[in-house]
Amino acid sequence: MKYSEIMVRYGELSTKGKNRKDFIRQLGKNVRQSLQEFPNLEIKAQHDRLHVTLNGESSSAVIERLSGVFGIENLSPSVKVAKDIETIKETAAAMVKEQFKTGTTFKINTRRQDHDFEFDTNQLNDMLGGYVLEHVPGIEVKMKKPDITLRVEIRLNGVYLTSEIIPGAGGLPVGTGGRAVMMLSGGIDSPVASYLAMKRGVKLDMVHFFSPPYTSEQALAKAEELTGKIATFGGNIQFIQVPFRKIQEEIKEKVPEGYLMTIQRRMMLRITAAIAESRHTKGIFTGEALGQVASQTLESMMAINDVTTLPVLRPLVSMDKEEIIRIAEKIGTYDLSILPFEDCCTIFTPPAPKTRPALDKSRNFEKLIDVDGLVKEAVEGIKIVDVKPNEKFLNQQSDVFAELL
Ligand SMILES: Nc1ncnc2c1ncn2[C@@H]1O[C@H](COP(=O)(O)OP(=O)(O)OP(=O)(O)O)[C@@H](O)[C@H]1O
């Protein structure tokens, strides 16, 4: 079937009262950004629905993109035809035929915006139903829960027929929930946490700590490429890389081994908070889940959280690893995350970190290093890259995959 339009139904937007206009505007903007590669499309975000006119572009490619955009409840490819009853009948039968399998049931559901059209909705339902029964042998009518509901809309500018409802990504349009900073490692969890933060409308900036020469160029490229994957769900993302080597060396030299990890994490969070505040963002997201590793106990979270008053949000807090992996696979980050490039934290993790660090001891050990000076230096050393949806970083370096073989 050659579709002419994709009809997009809004998700939670309809319940948002006076903010509705902003939500629709933002969703329109996000949809336009995610469909930039299709120059012939016309996109109109209207009060009740968003319409994407295909003008010859591939419906399946456009649907694939749209189904990843947050704020969309579901979508339906539709065919626009002239207001001519014979053409409407033939198109209706062709659409049903395309989905017909033995035992399929159907009904016609007509709506009329153009009240001057020569037939009313009951007449249209009867005429079109009769025509489909005659031209699709074996099909039956069923009013309650049919397999196919063919929707026919008689609008002022033409007639639209749709028969399929494809689920959207749900959630809220990215950008309607404010802006926050995400602490992104190269692991499995933080990309999933990013996805879930964005699902609730939050626009993210990524902060990534790296420690060359302890961490390789590939580890950095992997985090950037993960950012490109995540950007497919909400548009370009600023990737902020923070040099961390000097801080790690300083901590390793001066802090007792049991507290290496806690003090490193406190420094990471402190620097992230400084970056978040300088960008006027309202919170920090991490990929932590309770009980996963030493730094992810309540005591540890308390000792680390101590350095900022910004909300530190952990969308994965109560998830099992299996659940997290399932989402990572669904959003396409898993294969990248498991590439074996070392993260800066893994390298400096002591063999037996304190799983229940004490807050007062954490504060005291930190006095052994120049906290303010080191934070200032790290913040001054950041580099920002604007990462586009699906932008590649790894395969531009020929040695990356060769090294893994
Ligand atoms: N190099 C890094 N840069 C930025 N944030 C980081 C970095 N390493 C860890 N984090 C943050 O700290 C969280 C906990 O990291 P940790 O390595 O303890 O656990 P993890 O479960 O392996 O997480 P992940 O799978 O996201 O790496 C990460 O989810 C991320 O939010």
H-assigned helices in 185-297? 189-199, 217-231, 245-254, 260-278
Residue 99 counted as an annotated binding residue? no
Q: 358-398: per-residue pLDDT in tens?
A: 999 999 999 999 999 999 999 999 999 999 988 999 965 54
Q: Per the structure block, which two tokens stand in for 227?
A: 């950012």
Looking at the CA of residue 215, tell me the nearest atom of ligand 1.
Answer: 1
Q: Which of 144, 164, 171 is nearest to 69 (CA)?
A: 171
Looking at the CA of residue 296, tell me the nearest atom of ligand 1.
Answer: 18
Same domain, residue pair 83 and 27: yes
Same domain, residue pair 267 and 381: yes
pLDDT of residue 405: 46
| Residue numbers of the domain that contains 103 | 5-167
CA of 185 to the centre of ligand 1 (A): 5
| DSSP sequence for 36-84 | TT-TT-EEEE-SSEEEEE-TTS-HHHHHHHHTTSTTEEEEEEEEEE-S-
Residue 208 counted as an annotated binding residue? yes
Same domain, residue pair 377 and 238: yes
CA of 343 to the centre of ligand 1 (A): 8
CA of 286 to the centre of ligand 1 (A): 7
Whether residue 173 is contained in a domain is answered as no
pTM: 0.86
Residue 127 counted as an annotated binding residue? no
Q: What is the CATH number of the domain that holds 50?
A: 3.30.2130.30
Hey, whose CA ends up nearest to atom 16 of ligand 1?
288
| The last residue of a domain, from among 144, 167, 190 | 167
Same domain, residue pair 212 and 304: yes
Q: CA angle, corner 142, sides to 137 and 148, nearest 5?
A: 70
CA of 346 to the centre of ligand 1 (A): 9
Whether residue 174 is contained in a domain is answered as no
Residue 316 counted as an annotated binding residue? no
Is the ipTM reported for this complex over the cut 0.90? yes
The alpha carbon of 272 is separated from its chain's Cα centroid by a whole number of angstroms, namely: 22
Specify the 3-state DSSP secondary structure of 399.
helix
- Is-contact 8 21, C-beta < 8 A? no
| The last residue of a domain, from among 108, 137, 167 | 167
Q: 221-234: per-residue pLDDT in tens?
A: 999 999 999 998 88
Looking at the CA of residue 188, tell me the nearest atom of ligand 1.
Answer: 25
Number of domains in the chain: 2
